[in-house]
Amino acid sequence: MLLPGPEAMQLATWSGWRLRGTLGGLIAGGLFVAPGALVVLALAALYAAYGTVPLMQAVFMGVQAAVAVIVIEALLRVSKRALKGRAALIVAVLAFCALFFFNAPFPLVILAAGLWGWIAANKSPPTADRPDHPPLAAQTLRTLILWLAIWLLPLGALALFDGDLLTEIGLFFAKLAILTFGGAYAVLAWMAQAVVEDQGWLTLRQMMDGLGLAETTPGPLILVTEFVGYMAGHRQGGWPMGLAAAGITLWVTFVPSFMMIFAGAPWIARITADPRLAGALSGIMAAVVGVIANLSVWFAAHVFFATVGRSTFGPINLLNPDLASFRPALAALALLAGWLLLRRHMPLPLVLAISALGGLALHWAGLLPTVAS
């Protein structure tokens, strides 16, 4: 949890490292990600070919209604773990306000929360189980240099021979890989804004469909980045460019996790005994609650309203959904998904399947007359 990136994949890598060293970590982490990556790649290719078919759009809108509830479920789950005390609650509220009202940069919010946690815990003594003999710093440095080269040299080669879209994709997702604290939900709103509004790689509807697809697949949710990479490449150069963009996205997203585990695993006993690092993590996790709350509002607004703009009042920047574009049928479908998931505790794949069928039913009933691109 102290590291950026997909925690489950990193835990698998660490377990493999404990059993069989670096090779074990590569096998465990790689095989944890590979099945989901193959599924997302196949779904992205199918989406690029058939995503504009009205029936497929109806399916995706049904899935989006369920995802709006899934994000809220993630918010509740993280809140129980992260909001322990009044100070953590204040940090979460401040993080939400900074993002929702002032459109503050996500990295700045995370950095400020971590710094606050570090300072707040600065006077706490280390725990008693801190080891007396730290690992060799020289060995850690060699590991870092090796994996930094493995991670970044392909980007350097791209800059020399391509210098265009693939390099931009690689640099963007490399930056995102070191900022993904608290899981994929914490960076989705920022990533969506960047790839839709700033980069123009996808439409907003495609970005939301990609999140819905990622929810239906095995593997970490951060694999939504692979969908974004494929669609960005496909938009410029068809499926060959899509494959190349998906490959570089996977590379820069997951290689840093191997680097951090292999360099940091020997230090784990000292790291977990350091109250300042624990305090920084607590601050970051509290802020993540506010970040996911902001994502909940953002995602729900774009699912339940066909038209969502922004209004500015001085430094305040607010979402401004067009009330006339409200989609009551999708809101009702989301309520059904919420009841099934949160009250009946149905398995997530079953809830997603029911929501997809619900989207089709609404389409056939003429209750989804407009599907935005």
Within-domain flag for 168? no
Within-domain flag for 232? no
Measured in degrees and rounded to the nearest 5, phi and psi for residue 116 equal -60, -45
Is residue 130 within 8 A of residue 270, CB to CB? The reply is: yes
Within-domain flag for 316? yes
Is residue 148 within 8 A of residue 227, CB to CB? The reply is: no
Question: From CA 171, how far away is CA 191, in angstroms rounded?
Answer: 13
If one counts the domains in the chain, the total is: 1
Is residue 331 within 8 A of residue 68, CB to CB? The reply is: no
| pLDDT value, residue 372 | 47
Is residue 89 within 8 A of residue 83, CB to CB? The reply is: yes
How much helix, strand and coil, in percent to the nearest 5, is found in the chain? Answer: 75, 5, 20
Report, as ranges of residue numbers, the positions in the chain whose pLDDT lies below 70.
Answer: 1-2, 123-135, 162-163, 182, 269, 272, 369-373
Is residue 117 within 8 A of residue 280, CB to CB? The reply is: yes
Please give the full DSSP string across 35-92, using - where no structure is assigned.
Answer: HHHHHHHHHHHHHHHHTTSHHHHHHHHHHHHHHHHHHHHHHHHHHHHH--SHHHHHHH
| pLDDT value, residue 278 | 82
Tell me how far CA of residue 158 lies from CA of 150, 185, 233, 246, 250, in angstroms: 14, 29, 14, 14, 15
Within-domain flag for 239? no
| pLDDT value, residue 178 | 85
Q: What single-letter amino acid sits at 76?
A: L
Is residue 47 within 8 A of residue 209, CB to CB? The reply is: yes
Question: From CA 215, how far away is CA 220, in angstroms rounded?
Answer: 9
Beta bridge partners of 318: 311
| pLDDT value, residue 373 | 44
- 54-82 vs 328-338: helix crossing angle, rounded to 10: 50
Question: From CA 253, how far away is CA 37, in angstroms rounded?
Answer: 12
DSSP state for residue 106 in the 8-state scheme:
H
Average pLDDT, the chain: 89
Range of the domain at 143: 7-124+131-162+181-227+254-364
Within-domain flag for 334? yes
Question: From CA 82, how far away is CA 304, in angstroms rounded?
Answer: 29
Is residue 310 within 8 A of residue 318, CB to CB? The reply is: yes
Within-domain flag for 84? yes
Within-domain flag for 169? no
Nearest to 165 by CA among 122, 106, 229, 218: 229
Within-domain flag for 369? no
User: What residues contact 173, with CB distance under 8 A and at least 6 apart?
Assistant: 225, 229, 248, 249, 252, 253
Q: Is 334 helix (H, G, I), strand (E, B) or coil?
A: helix
